[in-house]
């Protein structure tokens, strides 16, 4: 199932909410590596991640690009109660992403 896409206002609500974990994949539309990372994240999520996974077009999230120091795409940010729990730029494998998300 495709990852739902969030805009900056939705990210702000998510970052300010005390809802547990969520993961955001920062991408750009024309990035081939981003499409591969998105598919890998979809597979990892289908394997049993208990919290929501989203994608974000980095071009439409300049505030969080600067705040969270997202310097390249794809970039995966795992939040817990609005704070960054993990940030990953190298999408090595589905297994690696699954372990990162399950921690």
Residue 82 CA to residue 92 CA, distance in Å, equals 25
Residue 82 CA to residue 2 CA, distance in Å, equals 23
pLDDT value of position 18: 82
Cβ count near 88 (within 10 Å): 18
For 5-18, the pLDDT digits (tens) are: 999 999 999 988 88
Peptide bond into 22 cis (omega under 30): no
CA 90 to chain centre: 12
For 18-53, the pLDDT digits (tens) are: 888 999 999 999 999 999 999 999 999 999 999 999
Cβ count near 22 (within 10 Å): 21
Give domain 5-102's CATH number out of 3.40.190.10, 3.40.30.10, 3.30.565.10, 3.30.420.480. 3.40.30.10
């Amino acid at each position: 199932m495709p990852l739902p896409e969030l805009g900056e206002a939705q990210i702000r609500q998510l970052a300010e909410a005390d809802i547990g974990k969520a993961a955001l994949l920062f991408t750009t539309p024309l990035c081939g590596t981003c499409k591969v990372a998105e598919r890998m994240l979809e597979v990892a999520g289908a394997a049993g991640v208990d919290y929501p996974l989203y994608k974000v077009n980095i071009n439409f999230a300049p505030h969080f690009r600067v705040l969270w120091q997202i310097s390249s795409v794809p970039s995966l940010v795992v939040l817990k109660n609005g704070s960054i729990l993990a940030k990953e730029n190298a999408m090595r494998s589905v297994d690696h992403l699954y372990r990162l998300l399950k921690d």
